[in-house]
Amino acid sequence: MTATPQASAPASRQTDWMGDAMQKRIARRYAAERRFKFLGLAAVALSSLFLAFLLVVMIGNGAKGFVTTEATLTIDLPAATGSISPDQLTEPRLAATMASIDVRRIFDQAVQAQYGDDGARYFASTAWTALRNQLVENPNLVMGKTSFWLPTSSDIDRAAKDRSTPEAERDYAALTKAGEVRQSFNMQFLTGSDGTDPARVGIWGALKGSLITMVVTLFLAFPVGVLAAVYLEEYAPKNRFTDLIEVSINNLAAVPSIIFGLLGLAVFLQFLSMPRSAALVGGLTLALMTMPVIVIAARNAIKAVPPSIREAAMGVGASPIQVVFHHVLPLAIPGIMTGTIIGMARALGETAPLLMIGMRAFTTTPPDGLTDPATVLPVQIFLWSDEVNRGFVEKTSAAIIVLLVFLLTMNAIAVYLRNRFETRW
Amino acid sequence: MLDNLASATTKPKMSARDVRVFYGPKEAIKGVSIDIDMDNVVAFIGPSGCGKSTFLRTLNRMNDTIPIARVEGDITLDGENIYSSSMDVVQLRARVGMVFQKPNPFPKSIYDNVAYGPRIHGLAPNKAELDQIVENSLVRAGLWNEVKDRLQDSGTALSGGQQQRLCIARAIAVDPEVILMDEPCSALDPIATAKIEELIHELRGRYAIVIVTHNMQQAARVSQKTAFFHLGTMVEYGDTSDIFTNPREERTRDYITGRYG
Ligand SMILES: Nc1ncnc2c1ncn2[C@@H]1O[C@H](COP(=O)(O)OP(=O)(O)O)[C@@H](O)[C@H]1O
Ligand SMILES: [Mg+2]
């Protein structure tokens, strides 16, 4: 503290800023800068290239999955049904009518009449249900002779899009020539569920399964993760025990996901006897996996809140809980949301742990609740990619597109929310 | 040193007796006794690290937030021990407000900054009264004319000096009895500093004010009483004019004449 005379500095040498050595050093520095910039640019270009490649391949293959091939079938309905009236096809008489007229038989007869004895090979085995649906949707059709567009067999569908068996190629050529075939948007793919006929499968069942699972995961992992982080940061005493908890949480975030599947299997299915294949169990399992990621992100976000803000709040008499909820959390929310986005995106794409708890159920109806048998998008993709029928290839790609769109939508919502919460300093 | 304690004609607002503060095993305040009354602004001066902030923070129990800090001795507010279990620390901090070294407004609007304290303590039953409290506080902090047209702007968008006056407005909005200021001008330019000093003059009498400063001219300008701290002890406490012109202690004289610090 007391001033002492400074030891005199050694006689200083004049720096030669314009000398050769100095100029060379400057040139080297600029070269290094240019090199670094170039490397960075190359890295960005390479990753953009990969991304573009992925998108082009996926969309190229998957787009066909959203298109279906249909052939026309003309039916004289008054003759075939015995002149039923349209209101017989509306509730409440619908069920009784359907029992009395056999749509399947009407379909078979019409096919035989129009396409010959083995004309059935042109159509999907479930094409008659499409006919029934169209009738129910528009009962007035029973009044006259109508041309229906009904899905073709998957062989002809593939002949229309790509290549298929020689017979199918021939059939397709014949149909095209007669103008009896067309391609249209495949609503069934967006509204249906899994099935055995690739031309008729849909993604809605898996999409709904993913949605329910994600909701369970979010509603469990987010509050529990944030509260755990708040407790650890704000309230927990710093001792051996809390150190141990901290280490465990960090390790948990790095545990391979399949282990969480085994944990879910042991705890939820075997110990707690929850239903197999249910979105509830899938959500719980993924929540276990997502929670540590959220805890870590939330703790870092809470740590990053400047202490001066806490002091300011305490200085006017805010209680600890008010400090946390009025000041710390609002400032930490953007960081917490970033961690949540990462955790949820990972959970959405997870397959292995869900296979362990049986979420590979072959379900032809979408799940209606938390405990219905369900599957999720990545598992559906995995299952379809494993099918021998070539028709599933495009469905696999189409399902991947749906998964990516889901992911992007989820992230876009989260980023929007995060920006709304962001406090401008 | 103790002569000054009893000589006050009125009862002291706050008084400390033999206060010791430990950070772990290290004793940062080694037995300080002082009385603070309503009529005088008290300045704490002393070299950095001597414990001015530490002692100041014992007066509203801000040290509670440091896990390793431990306080011994008695500190009373209106005769009531603030470290007793019957004292509610949340209420204490409303009664003994604090202004920090670096301006620290909340990243909220100017209005919300000032309204925060009254809101959490339920001081205003309706919006109109809250508006009135906010206006009065900003007027008293000398900021009203500068911000009255932009109360919804962010408090952090103000200049440093305005931010510090906003922090003072925020502190006085909960109607405290004592205001503690820890080097409130050290991050401000001379003009902003002059405004704060002027403000301290105006607040004197309504609140008991304690200000830590490393600037001796400032201590001389704003305070009526000065306490000189050194290495965790309070060396001398008396009228500011006496401390600066006629200190009793050698160490005080050395510090004031710039021999160290
Ligand atoms: N949170 C803390 N933990 C440990 N030691 C501290 C802490 N705060 C202050 N100290 C120590 O207490 C002493 C007094 O510090 P402080 O009160 O900040 O001094 P001043 O405000 O007079 O500069 C210093 O030696 C400092 O290192
Ligand atoms: Mg200090």
Q: Is the CB of B53 under 6 A from ligand 1?
A: yes
In a domain, A33, yes or no: no
Kindly state whether residues A270 and A365 are assigned to the same domain.
Answer: yes
One domain, residues A220 and A256? yes
- Domain boundary pick from A185, A213, A235: A185
Q: Burial level of B238, CB count in 10 A (0-12/13-18/19+)? A: buried
Residue B6 has pLDDT above 50, yes or no: no
* Position A184 pLDDT exceeds 60: yes
Q: B259 contacts in A (CB within 8 Å)?
A: 2
Mean local confidence (pLDDT), A191-218: 87
pLDDT in tens, A262-272: 998 998 888 99
A424, pLDDT greater than 70: no
What is the count of structural domains for chain A? 2
CB contact at 8 A, A69 and A157:
yes
Q: How far is B30 from chain A (nearest CA, A)?
A: 21
- Establish whether residue B28 lines the binding site of ligand 1, counting it when its CB lies within 6 angstroms of any ligand atom: yes
- A286 token code pair: 């993924």
Domain end residue (candidates: A158, A185, A212): A185
N- to C-terminal Cα separation, chain A? 38
Question: B100 contacts in A (CB within 8 Å)?
Answer: 308, 311-312, 315
Asked whether residue A57 carries a pLDDT value surpassing 90, the answer given is no
Contact A319 B117 (CB under 8 A): no
- Give the residue-averaged pLDDT of A87-101: 78
Task: Decide which of A394 and A324 is more confident.
Answer: A324
Structure tokens belonging to residue A6? 């400074």
Q: Nearest by CB to B90, from A317, A326, A424: name it.
A: A317
User: Is the Cβ atom of B195 under 6 angstroms away from ligand 1?
Assistant: no
Q: Residue A12: which residues within 8 A CB-CB, separation 6 or more?
A: none
Interchain CB distance below 8 Å, A326 and B65: no
CATH number where A244 lies: 1.10.3720.10
The two beta strands, B14-23 and B26-36, are antiparallel
Residues on A contacting B at a C-beta cutoff of 8 Å: 1-2, 237-238, 306, 308-319, 322, 326-327, 331, 423-425
Give the best-scoring range by mean pLDDT among A125-134, A216-225, B195-204, B242-251. A216-225
In contact, B117 and B165? CB cutoff 8 Å: no
* Residue B105 to residue A238, Cβ atoms within 8 A: no
- Mean predicted confidence (pLDDT) in A357-367: 82
Residue nearest (by alpha carbon) to ligand 1 atom 8? B54
> Model's pTM, two decimal places?
0.80
Write the CB contacts of B175 (distance below 8 Å, at least 6 apart in sequence): B123
Among A120, A88, A86, smallest CA distance to A105 is for A120
Q: Half-sphere exposure of residue A43, counting CA atoms within 13 Å on the CB side? A: 6
Are B100 and B53 in contact, with CB atoms under 8 Å apart?
Answer: no
Selection from A212-221, A415-424, B249-258 with the highest mean pLDDT: A212-221
Task: Return the pLDDT at A9.
Answer: 57
The answer to whether residue B45 scores a pLDDT higher than 90 is yes
Q: Is the pLDDT of residue B7 over 60?
A: no
Selecting from A315, A327, A423 the residue whose C-beta is nearest the C-beta of B98 gives A315
Q: Which of B47, B93, B154 sits opposite A316 (nearest CB)?
A: B93
- Which atom of ligand 1 is nearest to B182's Cα? 21
Find the domain containing A173 and state its range.
63-185
Residues B125, B129, B135, B138, CA torsion sign: negative
- The answer to whether A374 and A345 have CB atoms below 8 angstroms apart is no
| Domain contains A14 | no
Same domain, A180 and A208: no
Torsion region of A273: left, alpha or beta (phi above 0 gives left; psi -120 to 50 gives alpha): left
Q: Are residues A362 and A251 in the same domain?
A: yes
Rounded to an integer, the average pLDDT of A124-144 is: 83
Per residue in B217-249, pLDDT (tens digit) is 899 999 999 999 999 999 999 999 999 998 898
Atom of ligand 1 nearest to the CA of B229: 22
The pLDDT confidence band at residue A1, using thresholds 50, 70 and 90, is: very low
pLDDT of A423 reads: 60
d(CA A44, CA A72): 51
Same domain, A263 and A178: no
> Same domain, yes or no, for A89 and A146?
yes
- A9 exposure class (CB count in 10 Å sphere: 0-12, 13-18, 19+): exposed
What percent of chain A is helix, strand and coil (3-state, nearest 5)?
Answer: 70, 5, 25
On whether residue A34 sits in a domain, the answer given is: no
Of A97-106, A243-252, A344-353, B83-92, the one with minimum mean pLDDT is A97-106
Q: Are residues A146 and A247 in the same domain?
A: no
- Asked if residue A17 is part of any domain, the answer here is no
Kindly state if the Cβ of B49 falls inside 6 Å of ligand 1: yes
- Mean pLDDT across chain B: 90
| CA-nearest residue, atom 7 of ligand 1 | B23
Lowest mean pLDDT among A53-67, B32-46, B101-115, B202-216: A53-67
Give the number of other Cβ atoms within 10 Å of residue A6's Cβ: 6
Per-residue model confidence as pLDDT tens digits over B92-145: 999 999 999 999 999 999 999 999 999 999 998 899 999 999 999 999 888 999
B58 Cβ below 6 A of ligand 1: no
Quickly tell me which residue has 């710390």 as its tokens: A328
Taking each continuous run of H as one helix and of E as one strand, the counts in chain A are 18, 3
Taking the CA atoms of chain B, what radius of gyration do you get in angstroms?
18
Instruction: Give the separation between CA B137 and CA B203, rounded to whole angstroms.
Output: 11
B34 vs A165 pLDDT, higher one: B34
Residue A182 β-bridge partners = A70
On the question of a cis peptide bond just before residue A151, with omega within 30 degrees of 0, the verdict is no
Q: Is the CB of B50 under 6 A from ligand 1?
A: yes
Domain identity same for A299 and A218: yes
Question: Is A28 inside any structural domain?
Answer: no
- Pair B97, A315: CB distance under 8 Å: yes
Identify which of B27, B50, B52, B54 to mutate to test ligand 1's pocket (most ligand atoms within 8 A of the CB).
Answer: B54
Contact B154 A319 (CB under 8 A): no
For A125-146, b/e burial (b = at least 16 CB within 10 A) is: ebbbbbbbeebbeebebbeeeb
| Mean pLDDT for the stretch of residues B144-156 | 92
Residue A9 C-alpha, separation from nearest chain B C-alpha, in angstroms: 24
**Is B261 a residue whose pLDDT tops 80?**
no
Tell me what pLDDT residue B42 has.
Answer: 95
Residues A241 and A329 in one domain: yes
- Average confidence (pLDDT) over A79-98: 78
Report helix, strand or coil for B133.
Answer: helix
Asked if residue A326 and residue A260 are part of one domain, the reply reads yes
Rg of chain A, C-alpha, whole Å: 32
Question: Considering A185, A214, A244, which residue would you say is the last residue of a domain?
Answer: A185
CA distance A229 to chain B (A): 19
What is the structure's pLDDT at A3?
A: 46
| DSSP annotation of B105 | -
Which pLDDT belongs to residue A417?
84
Nearest protein Cα to ligand 1, atom 27: B49
The answer to whether residue A19 is domain-embedded is: no
Residue A37 located in a structural domain: no
Mean per-residue pLDDT, A185-192:
82
Contact B117 A317 (CB under 8 A): yes
Name residue B230's amino acid.
Answer: H
Residue B235 is predicted with a pLDDT of: 93
CA distance A245 to chain B (A): 20
- Which string of b and e fits B241-258 if b means at least 16 CB within 10 Å? eebbeebeeebbeebbee
Residue B52 is predicted with a pLDDT of 94
Reply yes or no on whether the pLDDT at A2 is more than 60: no
Q: Is residue A412 part of a domain?
A: yes
Mean pLDDT for all residues in chain A: 86
Q: Are residues A229 and A172 in the same domain?
A: no
Asked whether residue A357 falls in the same domain as residue A213, the answer is yes
DSSP code of A324? Answer: I
Give chain A positions within 8 Å (CB) of B164: none
Q: Measuring CA to CA, which residue among B229, B261, B226 is closest to residue B244?
A: B226
